[in-house]
Amino acid sequence: QVQLQESGPGQVKPSGTLSLTCAVSGGSISSNYWWSWVRQPPGKGLEWIGEIYHSGSTNYTPSLKSRVTISLDKSKNQFSLKLNSVTAADTAAYFCARGSVYSSKGVYYYGMDVWGQGTTATVSS
Amino acid sequence: DIQMTQSPSSLSASVGDRVTITCRASQSISSYLNWYQQKSGKAPKLLIYAASSLQSGVPSRFSGSGSGTDFTLTISSLLPEDFATYYCQQSYSTPYTFGQGTKLEIK
C-alpha cells in the first residue's frame, strides 16, 4: 500500500527557508490524487497548508500563500514544501498526506486518507 | 475561510460509554465534512468522509451525521483505543480548515 515519509532539517534559523520532502512509496505520484501538507504547532490543532495535483495545479491557505511553495518531482516520486521567511510561529510538526476523491451518491468528496508519520521543524537561532 | 467550531473541547468518558462530538461550520458546506482521529505523537487518521461515510477499515462503532452547518461524530461504545483527539475538517472549499479538536479522555 502507499506510504509517505517526510524528511528535512529539524532546525531552521529565523528568516530562513524551511524545506521538507515527502517521499511516496507503493504508488505513483502521477496518479489522480492531491498531495498535501498539514502542520501542527506544539500542543495545538491541525492547519492545512496546501496541496498539489499531479498536473502541477496548486492550492494554498491564504495566510501562508505569500511564503509557501509546494512542488512535485516525478522523477523521484516525491513532493516538497518550501516555506520562506520563517519565524518561531512556524515551529510545528509537519505532515504530508494524500488527498483522495470519493464518490457517494453521485457526488464527489475529498479526504486525506494516507499520512506520513510527521517531522518536527523548529525555528531557532 | 470557512471556520469550523467543535464542541466540547475536551470530554471525559468511560469504556463502554456512548459519546457525541459536535462540529459547526460558519457557512453551509453541504456534506463536505471529514472526521479524523489523532493519537498522541501520531499522524491523523481519516475516520469518516462525506459527513457519514465510513472510511475503509474503520470500526462500525464510529458514525457521522449532519449536513449544512451542523455535524456530529458518535462513538457508540468506547473502547480503550478510542481515547484520542478528534478533528473535523471541511472539504467544501480551500483552504480545507479544521476544527480546533476535541480531546477524549478516560474518566
Reference B22, options B44, B5, B39, B36; nearest CA is B5
Apex B80 CA angle, B79 and B82, nearest 5: 70
| CB hemisphere CA count around A90 (13 angstroms) | 25
What does the buried/exposed string (b/e) look like for B35-58 if buried means 16 or more CB atoms within 10 Å of the residue's CB? bbbbeeeebbbbbbbbbbbbbeeb
- Judged by a CB distance cut-off of 8 A, whether residue A31 touches chain B is no
- Judged by a CB distance cut-off of 8 A, whether residue A33 touches chain B is no
Reference A110, options B53, B99, B102, B22; nearest CA is B53
List CB contacts (< 8 A) between B35 and chain A.
none
- Which tens digits make up the pLDDT trace of B36-82? 999 999 999 999 999 999 999 999 999 999 999 999 999 999 999 99
When scoring A40, A44, A70, A110 by the number of chain B Cβ atoms within 10 A, the one with the most, hence best to mutate, is A110
Chain A residue with minimal CA distance to B100?
A45
- Which tens digits make up the pLDDT trace of A64-92? 999 999 999 999 999 999 999 999 999 99
Predicted local confidence at residue A108, as pLDDT: 95
The average pLDDT across A25-46 equals 96
Q: What percent of chain B has pLDDT over 70?
A: 100
Interatomic CA distance for residues A105 and A97, integer angstroms:
25
Q: Is B81 helix (H, G, I), strand (E, B) or coil?
A: helix
Tell me the pLDDT band of B102, cut-offs 50, 70 and 90: very high
- Judged by a CB distance cut-off of 8 A, whether residue B32 touches chain A is yes
Flag whether pLDDT at B85 surpasses 90. yes
List CB contacts (< 8 A) between A95 and chain B.
43-44
